[in-house]
Amino acid sequence: MNIDEIKERGLVVLECISGSRAYGLDTPESDTDIKGVYVLPKDEFYGLNYIPQINNSTNDIVYYELRRFIELLSVNNPNILELLNTPEECVIYRHPIMEDIDMSMFLSKLCCNTFGKFAMSQIKKAQGLKKKIVNPMDRECKSVIDFCYVNYNNGSVLFNKFIEIKGWRAEDCGIANINNMHNTYALFHSKNNLYRGIVQGNSPCDVSLSSIPKGEDQVAVLYFNKNGYSTYCKEYREYWDWIEKRNESRYQNNVSHGKNYDSKNMMHTFRLLDMAIEIGDSGIVNVGRPNRDFLLDIKAGKFSYSELIEMADERQIKMEESFKNSSLPDKPDMDKINKLLVKLRDSFYRE
């Protein structure tokens, strides 16, 4: 089942323009995101083929099955609360059964955690981009041997530097385990083709041990920084995956403002924190943002990273205080929500 099919079969019960256009933060370059809700036909729902979500390849069009939608509402998921409270001018279609959903049945103090966590995740994403911009990685991937060190002159040097000093070839070296010393090896050298080097193959993931003839003298101790190599490989994959998939216009905007962080992520941090404070104070989900200019200034990089972190910390304290004094319940009444879901589905199927 795909997006066209749920529309053709009349299964969509809510369809809205979401994202920046719903927030009132759109610019001429903004895409149009669509989110919605659909109800599976009886045979699909009662059978084994339950489909909780349908989206296009870029995830800018997403529809949630009614049960999944209600489930996410019950845990106060920010994206789903926003969808249900989409401004009227951004609602493309709303089925009559959606009028039976009472927002007061769902809103609770869980929002302090869900909105707060979501906001902090945006800061982490912004930090992640900051790290990628400030610390670009070479296209040529380092190898195991680049993380091998040898004791030398009361310190250590890279293995390749060590053999350069000695005038040795890498293939004339071999290593053997040292008892009770993790990732640390005895290093041997011979010009008689006894060894085949400390790594084998084109893309080794570990060092390679050699068979050491009895009586051979150890020349040094070699340490393989295996954790460092593993971390590097993970960061290398993430960096070049990001390079391949990044939104180039968004990246250039982040580079052009010169602050070395993802300003769009930071903008959403403040949007989420402000929304959470409003929910705690008034019990209302305001999707359209009244402080458009301030948020777009953040997106444009008009604040330093340290300024934004300081302001975000202040807002988080305010948010926590707001929910501490809020009259909202600690969590939704799941029995009532379950009965509502049964009623909604029953009404749709009867129709």
Enter the tokens of residue 317. 């304290």
Task: Specify the pLDDT at position 115.
Answer: 93
Architecture per CATH, 1-106+332-351? 2-Layer Sandwich (3.30)
Measured between alpha carbons, how far is 117 from 122 in angstroms, rounded to an integer? Answer: 9
- Select from 300, 288, 318 the least CA-distant residue to 253: 300
Instruction: Per-residue pLDDT tens, the chain, 351 aa: give them.
Output: 899 999 999 999 999 999 999 999 999 888 899 999 999 999 889 888 899 999 998 889 999 999 999 999 999 999 999 999 999 999 999 999 999 999 999 999 999 999 988 887 777 665 555 555 555 778 889 999 999 999 999 999 999 999 999 999 999 999 999 999 999 999 999 988 889 899 988 778 899 999 999 889 999 999 999 999 999 999 888 877 776 765 555 454 544 454 557 788 889 999 999 999 999 999 999 999 999 999 999 998 889 888 988 999 899 999 999 999 999 999 999 999 999 999 999 999 998
Q: Give ranges for CATH 3.30.460 in the chain.
A: 1-106+332-351
Q: Is the CB of residue 93 less than 8 Å from the CB of residue 37?
A: no
Q: Is the CB of residue 68 less than 8 Å from the CB of residue 295?
A: no
Task: Specify the pLDDT at position 2.
Answer: 93
Q: Which residues pair with 94 in a beta bridge?
A: 14
The two beta strands, 91-94 and 155-158, are unpaired
- The DSSP element (H or E) to which 280 belongs, if any, is helix 263-282
Measured between alpha carbons, how far is 15 from 5 in angstroms, rounded to an integer? Answer: 15
Task: Specify the pLDDT at position 255.
Answer: 47
Measured between alpha carbons, how far is 15 from 95 in angstroms, rounded to an integer? Answer: 9
Q: Which residue has the tokens 């809205």?
A: 16
CA distances from 22 to 5, 18, 65, 253, 317 (A): 26, 5, 21, 22, 27
The two beta strands, 91-94 and 12-18, are antiparallel
